[in-house]
A and B are shown apart, each in its own frame.
Chain A
Amino acid sequence: MAEEARAVLEVLDLEVRFASRRLYGSGGEVRAVDGVSFHVDPGEVFCIAGESGCGKTTLGRALLGLLKPHSGKVSISGLDPARLRREELRKFRRQVQVVFQDPMGSLNPRQSIYEAVAEGVRIHRLQGDEKEIVARALARAGLRPPERFFLSYPHELSGGQRQRVVIAAAIALEPRVLVADEPVSMLDASVRGEILELLVGLKDEIGMTLVLITHDLAFAWALADRVAIMYLGKIVELGPAQTVLTKPLHPYTKSLLAVAPEVGRRSTHEILTGEPPDPTHIPPGCRFHPRCPVLRSGEAGSQEPRCLGEVPALEELAPGHQASCHVAAAGSIRTRGPQAPYIRPAAPDDEPGP
């Protein structure tokens, strides 16, 4: 990933808002994604991680052009879905495909497997024999012999097979970017590794870029080149997976890692306490401050007023490693990260490490 390589995906100051409905009156606005910027290089596995409700799924849907951002822009191979006309939008859609969490829900129960995969092929009028394209996509997704699945319906397949169909339908279009939103969290543990392995394998085979959205840092550790940690709609830490997960700078990342299970290690780290984040009431200053263990323990020192009143910027604190924390930026935080990774990869041993 050379520095000069043109980013395949760029997000600039993206903001997505939802009107929050109350029983009485119009209520406030929820900023699900609140000023997010990052770029993803071609061929990279980029992981967006965070608690549920942090806006990672919304961010993913904005990348797909499925919802209109309030401001900022998304650009994939130079195309911004929010600014495209219908015909161009169709071309854009071909380049970005999606795999959702629930493989049952992402297949129309009344559509045969063949129809599900062929649908995109027809929409984009791909060159070549439709049957061949469908068969190749199914085979690539590990459903062999593909013809056996043509006339099956989703309910006749297992969860792992269904997710393979979803993946086949996505890669049939040979997209440049594949957004996978929690692609394995609804699957049995035994097939999770296989599906993740498949995704990474396909990424290399087709030359895609993989955007992996997950709450599970173990997958980020196992697969990702770079990781972005989100909290309440903002990226709080971003950098190479190994660095972020072994030498985290932001207290939120540290807390997340502290709760990640590992056999034989008793957590000595800060467990997250306090109220879970409410996106309708974003705290002033650093949005993590009400739950920040560093602040609570008094380690913030002279930075404390800034934590409470000033929004920290996402700054590069180490080469390629950005974090938005006043304390970390001031360098007053003691380096206390452990040497070994906090978590074990849940994927099989032959997983490519970061």
Chain B
Amino acid sequence: MGTLFFVLVLNFFLFRILPGDPERTLTRLQRVSPSTVDEVKRELGLDRPLPVQFFDYLGDTARGELGISYVFSRPVSEVIGNALWPTILLVGVATIGATVIGTLIGIWGAWRRGSPVDTASLGFGLVTYAMPEFWLGMLLILGFAVSLDWFPTSFMSTPGLTDASAGLLLVDTLEHLFLPALTLVLALLGEYALIMRSSVIEAMNEDYVKTARAKGMREALVLRKHVVPNALLPVVTLAALNLGFIVSGAITVETVFSWPGLGQLTFRAINGGPDYPLLQGLFLLFSVVVIFANLAADLLLGLLDPRIGRA
């Protein structure tokens, strides 16, 4: 709770330090007199002293009211709600994909340590990990969408495809999902592979693994029963902790692919304003996600690791 309050305070002041005035940005495309700008400012309530604005904001948030977005002129909760599912879909698929593939690469690399496959997958993972996501996304667009024309370049669905059958809509969504998800998977993969690899190598040196071998256990079974379950613990933590960062990290990917999710929304909220209520709402949501991801990681570890579970 303390954390959340701190986030609330930070959210308020952080965005007000941002350069730019909402009233000017909102009116920049129209020929307006200075008095109209002042009027807009008054309407938005930005003419009042900062402390008053602050306590209003605190009270509203406590009541669950996040305000009206400047850019969209609709309630923040509604704007965020619309963008929530696309992001959950994208980030969910990417996280699951990256965790599963990364973990498998890590296990395999550790098991066949030093082999060409290990070296190659490790190098590949490191390179994609180090690449900026937006650049990787652009490369993928160039390759798979522009040159090969296998996948659409942007959006979540083909415009105008509204009354098609459910099956067709699903295929259409998956086609649009593929490239942005692939970008995120590639960007996240290396970290999981690296952590899992070192974690497995460490676990393989444990005495209980040697003991299991000395008991005559088959190697595949040793890996499955003793090595992997213990090596998995740090990856679980990492995956949960990463969740919050992935949501915000999807900003660049969603922008590149015009994916109508929270990332793109954040981008537009900063550009078109700054849209204080929307930004405050978004970052409140991100913080809540991070806090709950932490909690989930702790609970999950408690289930997986008897040393933590039975306190």
A residues with a Cβ closer than 8 A to B are 61, 64-66, 89-90, 92-94, 96-98, 100-102, 105-112, 119-120, 123-124, 153, 155-156, 166, 169, 173
Contact = CB atoms under 8 A, between A and B. Distances in A.
Given A106-B208, A155-B307, A98 B214 contact: yes
Given A66-B214, A105-B207, A110-B304, 17 more contacts: A65-B214, A66-B213, A89-B216, A93-B214, A98-B210, A98-B211, A100-B211, A101-B207, A102-B207, A108-B208, A110-B305, A120-B215, A123-B215, A123-B217, A124-B216, A155-B307, A173-B215
Max chain A Cβ within 10 angstroms of own Cβ: one of B216, B229, B305, B310: B216
Contacts of A100: 207, 210-211
B212 interface: yes
A108 B230 CA distance: 8
Nearest to A104: B207
A186 B88 CA distance: 50
Contacts of B212: 108, 119
A109 B217 contact: no
A45 to B, nearest CB: 20
Nearest to A101: B207
A111 B225 CA distance: 9
A61 B213 CA distance: 11
Given A100-B207, A102-B207, A155-B307, A109 B230 contact: yes
Contact of B230 (A94, A106, A110): A110
Contacts of A92: 216
18 contacts: A65-B214, A90-B216, A93-B214, A100-B211, A102-B207, A108-B208, A108-B230, A109-B305, A110-B229, A110-B304, A110-B305, A110-B306, A111-B208, A119-B215, A124-B216, A153-B307, A155-B307, A169-B215
Nearest to B227: A108
A64 B217 contact: no
Nearest to A92: B216
Nearest to A121: B215
Nearest to A119: B215
Contact of B216 (A101, A108, A123): A123
Interface in B272-311: 304-307, 310
Contacts of A98: 210-211, 214
Contacts of B41: none
A150 to B, nearest CB: 14
B206 interface: yes
Contact of B208 (A89, A97, A105, A124): A105
Contacts of A61: 210
Contacts of A106: 206-208, 210-211
Report the 6 A-B pairs with minimum CB-CB distance, sorted nearest first: A93-B216, A106-B207, A105-B207, A120-B215, A100-B207, A153-B306
Contacts of A94: 216
B216 A109 contact: no
Contacts of B208: 105-108, 111
A97 B214 contact: yes
Nearest to B205: A105
A160 B207 CA distance: 17
B268 interface: no
B4 to A, nearest CB: 33
B226 interface: yes
B215 to A, nearest CB: 4
A110 B215 CA distance: 18
Contacts of B217: 119, 123
Contact of A66 (B206, B210, B304, B310): B210
A65 B226 CA distance: 19
Most buried by B among A93, A101, A102, A106: A106
Contact of A108 (B214, B226, B310): B226
A169 B211 contact: yes
A109 to B, nearest CB: 6
Nearest to A181: B207
A61 B226 CA distance: 19
Contacts of A66: 210, 213-214
**Residue of B214, B230, B307, B310 ringed by the most chain A CB atoms within 10 A:** B214
Given A93-B216, A109-B305, A153 B210 contact: no
A210 to B, nearest CB: 16
Nearest to A99: B211
Nearest to B305: A110
Nearest to A115: B225
Contacts of A173: 215
Interface in B220-243: 225-226, 229-230
Interface in B95-138: none
Contacts of B304: 110
Nearest to B229: A110
Contacts of B225: 108
